[in-house]
Amino acid sequence: MWRTTPSLSSQRPPLPEDTSLAPGEQADPAPDMEPAPAPGSLFVPDLVGMHLHDARQDARLAELELVADERPADRAFRGRIVRQDPQPGVSVRPGDAITVVVGARPGVLVPDVRGLDEQDSQAMLRSAGLFPSRRVERRSGSVPQGQVIRTRPRAGAEVPVGTRITLVVAVPPRPRASTVRRERRSRSRRSAEAALFAYPEGG
């Protein structure tokens, strides 16, 4: 008659006295027991429904890397994990990555406001649920002064509602050094001519 080892008997209920095991046969594990991970590996924790901040802490404690990707979701799921890969219970090794999908605010496309003045650009951004929060000036010889050259993020990019948008506005280019010298010579010549007419020879 085969007998269970002390380690097995500590984990499984004792066999009935009239029950014997054939060589190589093992008793069925208790129904409420979970298999242990392979040596050097661990099971993926269940992160679905958790806030991203808490999930990062759990992943760090489990020596796993967490890669988050946002997707628009209903208000109840915003900031919470709605899906993960690998699934909970899968055996992985320390240092492996878990990819999670986090619920975010619905996305909108940044409208194209290039060529518009600041006031019209700001109104269009607000109507899309975005906030024009910053103004950056760029010198341009092709875009009229005061018109928008581009936005940051760029036009057409999908961003969450409420994202702050930077407007890059055109200002006149710096005059060239040769142009400045010509203007100075021209002013000097006009000043000399004005003085000559003010004090004619022999006057």
Instruction: Name the pTM for this structure.
Output: 0.44
- Residue 125 reports pLDDT greater than 70: yes
CA distance 77 to 115: 39
Instruction: Verify that 161 and 113 share a domain, yes or no.
Output: yes
Around 102, how many Cα atoms within 13 Å sit in the side-chain half-sphere? 19
Instruction: Please count the structural domains in the chain.
Output: 2
* Residues spanned by the domain of 115: 108-171
Do 49 and 96 lie in one domain? The reply is yes
What are the pLDDT digits (tens) for 147-157?
Answer: 999 999 999 99
CA distance 1 to 5: 13
Residue 70 maps to a domain: yes
Residue 162 and residue 117 share a domain:
yes
For 8, 9, 28, 61, 170, the CA distances from 20, given in Å and listed in that order, are 15, 14, 13, 43, 89
pLDDT at 23 (0 to 100)? 46
* 13 within a domain of the structure (yes/no): no
